[in-house]
Amino acid sequence: MPIDFASRPNRIPWPPLIYAAAIGLALVLDGLWSDSPIHDRGPVLLVVGLAMMAAGAAFDFAAMLAMSRRRANILPHRAASLLVTAGPFAISRNPIYLGNAIMLAGAAPTFGNPWFLAVVPLVVVAITRLAIRREERHLAARFGAAWTAYAARTPRWIGRL
């Protein structure tokens, strides 16, 4: 049965499942192959990793706050109630996914596990294919010209800071 993108983008909330699978994969791979120089990280790498994780979390929370203030739905498998284009959404059409990817990358130096960084490209591809493209079709069906204009001026992942 074809998906009715006007009513909702997905039946399954893919993004949290994808990020959880990536974390699990990084932990399993680290258990199997743990002889990397990053495991002997010093205080500089720890600070860099923590800063990256904090920046990703701040981006996440700023996006969630922007959506909450406008009473927009945040769940990735439910219909969009409003097209939010301000705040972090002016930099990225997907600031929550971007923030999560930044946190995942920051986990590598924070925890001395390079596999966290290695899974980021896999996450980006999976999120783009299983969530973002479907969400974009949903938003185009719901918001028409407003979505088209927003998508034309704002990059999918990251733009001007």
Assign 44 to helix, strand or coil.
Answer: helix
Res 78: pLDDT:
74
Res 3: pLDDT:
47
Res 101: pLDDT:
97
The angle subtended at Cα 86 by Cα 81 and Cα 90, nearest 5°, is 115
Res 2: pLDDT:
45
Res 1: pLDDT:
37
Structure tokens at 72: 């927009």
Record the pTM: 0.85
User: pLDDT tens string for the chain (161 positions)?
Assistant: 344 445 555 566 678 899 999 999 999 998 887 665 556 677 898 999 999 999 999 999 999 999 989 888 777 677 778 899 999 999 999 999 999 999 999 999 999 899 999 999 999 999 999 989 988 999 999 999 999 999 999 999 986 54
Res 97: pLDDT:
95
Q: Which long-range contacts (CB under 8 A, 24 or more apart) does 58-62 make?
A: 58/99, 59/88, 59/95, 59/96, 59/98, 59/99, 59/102, 60/95, 60/96, 60/99, 60/100, 60/103, 61/99, 62/87, 62/88, 62/95
